[in-house]
Structure 1
Amino acid sequence: MTELTAVRTVDYHTGGEPFRIVDTRAAELPPVPGDTVAERCATAIGPGGSGTAPRRGELDDVRRLLVQEPRGHAGMYGGFVVSPDDDGAHLGVLFWHKDGYSTACGHGTMALGAWAVDTGLVAAPDHGDVQVRIDVPSGRVAATVHRDGGRTTGVTFRNVPARVAARKVPVATTLGLAEADIAHAGACYASVRARDLGLEVSRAALPDLVRAGREIRTALATHPGTWHPGGPLLSGVYGVILYEELPDTPFGPHQRNVTVFADGQIDRSPCGSGTSARLALLAQDGRLGAGEDLLHESVVGTVFTGRVLPSDGGEGEGEGEGGDGVVTEVTGTAYRTGEHLFTLAPHDALGPGFLL
């Protein structure tokens, strides 16, 4: 970090989950080697492949500076805007969190859609919709930005196809035995019913939910259902979704969840790509009929609405997972929270900071 003096960011929140955007092209930050976003993500993660091993490199120093205290916090999330794979997308992104990098981020995709319109990168009407196409490590996704009266009123995230990999996998935790359903939706998610562990999805239960999420992730580390045919980059449990059923709405199922990802990080939103994973499971169970939506709540009370598209609804978007799967859309809101110029004083003994 000795040569880095300042980093400019634009911050959003989507359903309460932060997303800190750094445009590496405008800032002239050092590029990550690789011909595609997926290759750059693999390079950033490093040979360990887990995304949590120590990393080297100037751009990763920027990540640590922005996610660690005193400039960030353990719950911070963000992305480096990079060039897309080709002219079919408006931008590419490398998603990051306190422990490293991720292959998917639905809430970040929604924030990037709003940012692309706010900055004029993608022209948008005062009334109507505009689609922002984004290359992420798991493939090409889209954020449809909804506009009314000259302002953004919501964003719909179309993910890569989501597919179910395993059902009712027994997992032992210190809170008891539970069953996990595994689905891939740009990243691998394990879904567990919270009440099977004697828990409810609430703020008061967060310490136990985080402990359970960590234990479940560890228990499933070698399960074959966590392997993705696309290779190691997309394999391994990224997030554990602890959910509870709420009374159905007239439009379909209603659930509340907390997603514990990376090394015990909590998603404040209902989790965009995690919602895609839940939709794939609900579709397989026959609980989502034509035209029905999942009302998906977070632990802080924010809501995403998700749906499974007809089999011919992809139209070229949501590519990258390969093979079978369902195409999903998740709608939420994203709001700008600030613009920042972060600096590192040359004699600051804390350097890029610390995490508690």
Structure 2
Amino acid sequence: MTDAAPAHGAPGFDAFPTTVRTTDYHAAGEPFRIVDTASGAMPAVPGDTVAERCATAIGPTGSATSPRRSALDDVRRLLVREPRGHAGMYGGFVVPPDDDGAHFGVLFWHKDGYSTACGHGTMALGAWAVDCGRVPAPDDGSAQVRVDVPSGRVTATVHRSGGRTTGVTFRGVPARVSARKVPVATTLGLVEADIAHAGACYAAVAVRDLGLEVSPAALPALVRAGQEIRAALATHPGTWHPGGPLLSGVYGVILYEELPDTPFGPHQRNVTVFADGQFDRSPCGSGTAARLALLAEDGRLGEGEDLLHESVIGTVFTGRVVSGGAEGVVTEVTGTAYRTGEHAFLVDPLDALGTGFAL
């Protein structure tokens, strides 16, 4: 089945920009498409803070059969739908920060809507901000890029050597555990889920309890299981965040596999299933922070130890707990981010597919 959008000249598209320019990165294999709303006459999103702008972008405006949320949402759909995007696309709209303490803000998005946190996206944004000169950085050393996201203020420390970006360390909002060993019935049997908040809410389930492994061949079964677990936990009180509905509800299901420990700490492989069956190609940045909170509570992650966190495609993030407090543990996740291209996307006014289609 296809879900086609109206053409450029259709009602409601009056504010659509002629050209949408993007800079694309990937962090450990997961794409991130960056759109700077300050350029290109992009539609504005009302709100005094990034969280308010996110709530506005989510809507709802329109009916259940016409889920268009805002003028800017037309741009999101253009960039994630075929033929210009794909179902696994991820990205962000760069918007003004909450105050002068941050360099900029961002609204994270995917094919089904918006998210309140994105670690791999923050890494990509840090690299982009330094690479394009928006944030000054030394040829050798590091620079901090402060970003306001819907769940709070996060930092990307961009590491440099010989005038090149060599890695990025993401420090998110405090991560906290909210529920343990929640029984969940799936078509593969009864499993137990642990729930943690790390800018977004994650449920973590061991794949051995599903009789699966984290591998590309198992992806169809992993995605189905992730969708079942997410749906089953929709009303669980552990998914509620004191910050309100925007931060509540299961965003992603982390299906993890234990691997032999390294000399530096635990070693796991995971796939994170989110939205309507989308899965993270990277080890998931904010999901890694959620895993760190759970491992710290279990006593499995000692001072100075790292979690080596692999993705379903074999890429790696390294995570550590920096400190703890009443709001949770402060974590850092380190990975890489590389630019993959720059694009100028257009919509021909005669193109009946408009902003594209989703299969």
Distance in 2, Cα, partners of 1:248 & 1:66: 40
Q: Which residue matches 1:238? A: 251
8 Å CA contact 1:13, 1:111 repeated in 2:
yes
Q: Which residue matches 1:18? A: 31
Q: CA deviation at 1:71?
A: 0.2
Distance in 2, Cα, partners of 1:53 & 1:306: 41
Q: Which residue matches 1:318? A: none
- Counterpart amino acid of residue 112 in structure 1: L
Distance in 2, Cα, partners of 1:259 & 1:308: 20
The answer on 1:147 being equivalent to 2:160 is yes
The answer on 1:225 being equivalent to 2:238 is yes
Structure 2, unaligned stretches of length 5 or more?
1-7
Distance in 2, Cα, partners of 1:246 & 1:169: 23
Structure 1, unaligned stretches of length 5 or more?
313-322
Distance in 1, Cα, partners of 2:178 & 2:213: 26
Number of equivalenced pairs: 343
User: Equivalent of 1:105, from 98, 105, 118?
Assistant: 118
Which piece of structure 1 moves more, 97-106 or 21-30? 21-30
Within 5 Å, give how 1:204-223 maps onto structure 2.
204-223=217-236
The answer on 1:282 being equivalent to 2:282 is no
Q: CA deviation at 1:27?
A: 2.0
Q: Which residue matches 1:135? A: 148
CA deviations on 1:212-253 (whole Å, 9 max, x unpaired) are: 000000000000000000000000000000000000000000
Q: Which residue matches 1:324? A: 327
Within 5 Å, give how 1:146-295 maps onto structure 2.
146-295=159-308
TM (normalized to structure 1)? 0.95
SS of the equivalent of 1:212 reads: helix
User: Equivalent of 2:346, from 343, 347, 356?
Assistant: 343
8 Å CA contact 2:98, 2:148 repeated in 1:
yes
Q: CA deviation at 1:17?
A: 0.1
SS of the equivalent of 1:87 reads: coil
TM (normalized to structure 2)? 0.94
8 Å CA contact 1:113, 1:143 repeated in 2:
yes
SS of the equivalent of 1:346 reads: coil
Distance in 2, Cα, partners of 1:16 & 1:311: 30
The answer on 1:40 being equivalent to 2:18 is no
Which runs of 4 or more aligned residues in structure 1 lie more than 2 Å from their structure 2 counterparts after TM superposition? Answer: 1-5
Distance in 2, Cα, partners of 1:132 & 1:142: 6
8 Å CA contact 1:304, 1:330 repeated in 2:
yes
Distance in 1, Cα, partners of 2:237 & 2:323: 29
Q: CA deviation at 1:6?
A: 1.2
SS of the equivalent of 1:27 reads: coil
Which piece of structure 1 moves more, 38-47 or 256-265? 38-47
Q: RMSD of the alignment, in Å?
A: 1.3
User: Equivalent of 2:85, from 49, 72, 96?
Assistant: 72
SS of the equivalent of 1:165 reads: strand
